[in-house]
Structure 1
């Protein structure tokens, strides 16, 4: 159990999948949007990674 003085810090990493993202053909706007939404929930996004 956690007391009222203790806080749980949650972190997340966003992984964007798609060749069009890593080739630079389009900008990853979803990662930015998701990061803002997670921040509102108290979740710290440590990084956004793009993979193809």
Structure 2
């Protein structure tokens, strides 16, 4: 199993916080099944580009 480094988790948290603040979005925007699906697709595409 793959463990995400703490620095990466912190960077993602900071980026999501900036997104919410700069775009005046509710915190619910980055919560739920739809957002999880979006992130999974983005990560799958990103990993595919590394191959």
**TM-score normalised by L of structure 2:** 0.36
Structure with higher RCO (Cα < 8 A, 6+ apart): 1
- Report the structure, 1 or 2, having the larger helix content: 2
- Report the structure, 1 or 2, having the larger strand content: 1
Greater Rg by CA:
1
